[in-house]
Amino acid sequence: MTRILKAIPLILFLLTNCGQTEKQGEEIISFSDDNGYDTKYFTTSDGIKLRYLSSGQGPALIIQPGWMMPAEIFKFQLDKLASSFRVIVLDPRGQGLSEDSPDNNYVGRRARDIYELIEFEKIDSFILAGWSLGVLDVLYYADKFGTDKLNGLVLIDGPVTTDHEGVQQGWRNLVHDLQTNRPEFEKGFMSALFKNEQDSIFIKTLKARLSDTPTNSSFVALATHIAEPKDYSSILAKVEAPILITLAIWSFQLENYKQIKGNASIEIFQCGHALFVDDAERFNRLIIEMVSKTN
C-alpha cells in the first residue's frame, strides 16, 4: 500500500479525507451489463470488438474514460446530460466489456479507436472529453486526426505533460504494484476516485469491472507513456473550439495548463479523481455552459 500512496502524492490527501465509498455489511448486489443504457459494439480496423454506452438525443458528446475504468463511471452524464446531448461513452480496449488487446494498447491506437467510433457512428460534429489517461488519448486524437469536427474539448483531471519526473515515478510505482500486489493496488485505486459516499451498486459495478481488467493490457496502456514521455500542451494550440479543463488531484499541473493560449477555461474541484461523479451537477453545468457560448 505504501508504494501506491507514493504513486501520485495527492492520492494520500484523498485517502485521508474522503468519506466511505460504500456502506458496510451489505450483500453483494448483481448488476446488469448495460445499466439501462443503449449498449452497442463495433469492430476496430485491427479486429478488436469495442463496447460503448449511449443515451439521449442532440449534439454528440463523446467521452473516453481513464485507465482501467469502464463506461459506467459516467452514469451521471449518461443520465443527466441525455436531455441536452447524445452522450456516448466508450469502453477503451481491455476495459469494461470491450475485448482485450494486450499487444496493441498504446496511445496512438487508442486515439484511432475514438476516430473509428466516430466514423462508425457517422458523426459530423461533436464535443470530445477525456478523463485521466483519457486526456492524453483525446489530445493525441486532436493532433493526428484533426479538429475540423470538434465543437469543444473537455479535459478531465489528467496531465498535459508526462515528462515530469514526479509523474513518471508515480506511474512506475503504479505499474509495479499492479503486477506485484494487485488486490492492494485495486483498494488504493478505488479509494482515490471519490471524496463523497456513492451508491453501493455503482461502487460494486466499478470494482467488478476493475477486477476484470487484464493486468497485461493495463500495463501496456500506461507504460507507453513511461517509455515515451511527452509535452502535449502544444497540441491545444491547434484547437479553435472552446476548451474546458477540470482538475482535482492533477491540479499540480495547473501551471502547465495556465500556459495554454486561446479559448480555454480552467475549473478546480475539491473532489476525488472522478470529479464528474463527486460534483456531477457542477461538472454537467459547465459542459452545458461551454456549449451555449458557441451557439
- Averaged over successive runs of 10 residues, the pLDDT of the chain (295 residues) comes to 44 36 41 73 98 95 98 96 96 97 93 98 97 98 96 96 92 94 95 95 95 95 94 92 96 90 90 98 96 74
pLDDT of residue 295: 64
Question: 185-189 — which CB contacts under 8 Å span 24+ positions?
Answer: 185/4, 186/210, 186/211, 187/1, 188/1, 188/4, 188/5, 188/7, 188/11, 188/15, 189/4, 189/68
Q: Are strands 49-55 and 86-90 parallel, antiparallel or unpaired?
A: antiparallel
**Single-letter amino acid code for the residue at 288:** I
| All residues at 6 or more sequence positions from 97 whose CB lies less than 8 Å from its CB, including other chains | 33, 51, 70, 91, 209
Q: Is 0.85 topped by the overall pTM? A: yes
pLDDT of residue 13: 35
In terms of C-beta density within 10 A (0-12 exposed, 13-18 middle, 19 or more buried), how is residue 166 classed? Answer: exposed
pLDDT of residue 4: 42
Report the alpha-carbon distance of residue 170 to residue 268 in Å, rounded. 22
Name the strand (E) or helix (H) holding 204. helix 200-212
Tell me the residue ranges of DSSP E strands in 3-71. 38-43, 49-55, 60-64
Buried b (16+ CB within 10 A) or exposed e, 225-261: bbeeebebbebbeebebbbbbbbbbbbebeebbeebe
pLDDT of residue 20: 36
If one counts every other C-beta atom within 10 angstroms of the C-beta of residue 100, the result is 16
H-state helical runs in 63-181: 75-80, 107-121, 133-145, 165-180
pLDDT of residue 33: 57
Q: Which domains does the chain have, with CATH numbers?
A: 38-162+214-294 (3.40.50.1820)
Report the alpha-carbon distance of residue 53 to residue 39 in Å, rounded. 5
Q: How many separate helices (H) and strands (E) can be counted in the chain? A: 12, 8
